[in-house]
Copies of this chain bind each other. A is one copy, B any other.
Amino acid sequence: MPATRLDGKKIAAEIRSEVAADVESFVAAGNAPPQLAAILVGDDPASQVYVRNKERACEKAGIASRLDRLPASTTQAELLAKVAELNADPAASGILVQLPLPSPEAGGTGIDERAVLDAIDPIKDVDAFSPVNVGLLMQGRPRFLPCTPHGIVQLLSRTNISTSGKHVVVVGRSDIVGKPMAMMLAQKDSTCGPETANATVTLAHSRTQDLAEVCRSADILIAAVGRPEMIRGEMIREGAVVIDVGINRVDDRLVGDVAFAEAENVASAITPVPGGVGPLTIAMLLHNTLMAAKMQAAGN
Q: Known A132-B135, A135-B132, A139-B134; judge A203-B179 contact (CB<8 A).
A: no
Closest chain B residue, CB of each to CB of A166: B209
Residues of A at under 8 Å CB distance from B?
114, 130-141, 164-167, 173, 175, 179-180, 182-183, 186-188, 198, 200-205, 207-209, 214, 217
The residue from B114, B141, B164, B200 contacting A202, defined by CB atoms under 8 A apart: B200
B175 touches A203 (CB 8 A): no
Most buried by B among A114, A167, A207: A207
A179 touches B209 (CB 8 A): no
The residue from B131, B207, B209 contacting A135, defined by CB atoms under 8 A apart: B131
Q: Known A179-B183, A200-B214, A217-B217; judge A207-B138 contact (CB<8 A).
A: no
B165 touches A209 (CB 8 A): yes
Q: List 10 A-B contacts (CB under 8 A).
A: A131-B133, A132-B132, A135-B137, A139-B175, A140-B175, A173-B187, A179-B186, A182-B182, A186-B203, A201-B203
A262 CB to closest chain B CB (Å) equals 23
A162 CB to closest chain B CB (Å) equals 11
Residues of B close to A205: CB separation below 8 A: 186, 188, 198, 200
Residues of B close to A217: CB separation below 8 A: 217
Alpha-carbon separation in the docked complex, A203 to B200 (Å): 6
Residues of B close to A182: CB separation below 8 A: 182, 186, 203
B202 touches A173 (CB 8 A): no
Residues of B close to A208: CB separation below 8 A: 165, 200
Residues of B close to A179: CB separation below 8 A: 138-139, 183, 186
Given contacts A131-B131, A167-B209, A200-B203, 8 further A-B contacts (CB under 8 A): A132-B132, A138-B138, A179-B186, A188-B205, A198-B205, A198-B207, A200-B208, A203-B203
Alpha-carbon separation in the docked complex, A175 to B186 (Å): 12
Residues of B close to A198: CB separation below 8 A: 205, 207
Residues of B close to A187: CB separation below 8 A: 173
Residues of B close to A133: CB separation below 8 A: 131, 135
Alpha-carbon separation in the docked complex, A286 to B264 (Å): 54
Alpha-carbon separation in the docked complex, A114 to B141 (Å): 11
Closest chain B residue, CB of each to CB of A178: B186
Alpha-carbon separation in the docked complex, A209 to B168 (Å): 12
Residues of B close to A200: CB separation below 8 A: 202-205, 207-209, 214
